[in-house]
Amino acid sequence: MLKWIGVWSALLSIGGAAVAQAPTYPSRPVTIVVTAAAGGVSDVIARAVGQRLSALWKQQVIIENRGGAAHTIGAAAVAKATPDGHTLMIAESGTFVTNPLLYDKGKLPFDVEKEIAPITGLVRINHALAVHPGLPVANFRELIELGRQKPGEIPYATTGIGAATHLNVARLESMAGAKFLAVHYRGAAPAFSDVVAGHVKFMLISMSTTIQPFQQGQIKLLGIGGLQRLPQFPSIPTLAEALPGYRAGTWFGLATTGGTPNDIVMKVNQEVTQILADPEFRAKFLEPQLFESMVSLPDRFAEDIRAERETWRSIISKAKIRIE
């Protein structure tokens, strides 16, 4: 009996030593999958945060752009990765919130609830309503009225079916009883270029993108989709001043593979939160881009995703927006 006790004690000691000597996270390079092409907001955020994490962890952080199919290609790769925290994802809100509503059941190549683990929100951007100078409207109310008088005739640019630039106009149409004509592009740059050129008449796009063309007189800005006027542009009203309750923008969040241990999720959450709270990082990265930090604990982030999904459900259903 004593002999077996000694054997078990030895095995337990070996096991305990193995646990004690297990490598801490991250034990190897970490990949951040960006679900969009290089150069976009999610890519810029990933590179800024990834650089800080690499310095903090003393590990290489690799940025991997896997855009396409309304962000589902990159998200599917993360969903199917080993759940050990060494594959992260930075994606636009639609990846978390609206894609499950836009695809027919069974068409989305992963289960958002089970195979994607939210870590934290990163930044929120407000959209500005950019209008070609030739469109005969002086303010947001007049644009709404034009959309009522000429339903489906005024073309606007989006960055793709189901993108925030599309869905925010669908929300506008639902709230205001107006109707416009969506023209879908493969990205923000060609879409906005056609607004400036007058091929399409307006677009909801990040405020930072519009500043220089606005100052050069290439576009009119009818309002900003945030809750408050920007201190830098106090003369530009919020869109909610004309349409109470209306908000236009999008956000970007950080996630990993479902089933990743909670201590790893919390470690990444805490360290990314510290990065976004750093005054130097905010001054260098957030403020010039007019980004708003939206970090939170993982459980709160997951709750916010589910709540926002419900607010979009009726809008998407009413507008009959689907991704084939």
pLDDT, tens only, 24-70: 899 999 999 999 878 778 889 999 999 999 999 999 999 999 887 77
Please state the pTM of the whole predicted model: 0.85
Single-letter amino acid code for the residue at 292: E
Q: Residue 324 — pLDDT band, cuts 50, 70, 90? A: confident
Q: Which fold has domain 30-125+250-319?
A: D-Maltodextrin-Binding Protein; domain 2 (3.40.190)
Tell me: the pLDDT tens digits for 253-304? 999 999 999 999 999 999 999 999 999 999 999 998 889 999 999 999 999 9
Least confident window among 3-12, 179-188, 289-298: 3-12
The C-alpha atoms of residue 231 and residue 239 are separated, in whole angstroms, by 16
- Give me the CATH code for the 126-241 domain, please: 3.40.190.10
The pLDDT of residue 4 is 42
**Residue 31's CB: how many other CB atoms inside 10 A?**
18
pLDDT of 249: 95
pLDDT at 18: 37
How far apart are the C-alpha atoms of 121 and 293, rounded to whole Å?
8
The whole-number pLDDT of residue 23 equals: 59
Neighbours of 105 (CB within 10 A): 6
CA–CA separation, 23 and 99 (whole Å): 36
Cβ contacts of 61 within 8 Å, gap of 6 or more: 29, 30, 31, 32, 50, 51, 53, 54
Residue 147 has pLDDT above 60, yes or no: yes
Q: Model confidence over 57-107: pLDDT tens digits?
A: 999 999 999 887 778 899 999 999 999 999 999 999 999 999 999 998 888
Q: Which two tokens stand for residue 321?
A: 């927006």
| Interval 115-146: pLDDT, tens | 999 999 999 999 999 999 999 999 999 999 99
Residue 155 confidence (pLDDT)? 98
Give domain limits for the chain: 30-125+250-319, 126-241
**Residue 16 confidence class, pLDDT cut points 50, 70, 90:** very low
Residue 11: pLDDT band with limits 50, 70, 90: very low
Note whether 195 and 213 are within 8 A (CB): no
pLDDT at 79: 97
10 Å CB burial of residue 208 (0-12, 13-18, 19+) is middle
Q: Cβ of 117: how many Cβ atoms within 10 Å?
A: 24
Is 70 exceeded by the pLDDT of residue 17?
A: no
- Taking the C-alpha atoms of residue 18 and residue 28, their distance in angstroms, rounded to an integer, is 18
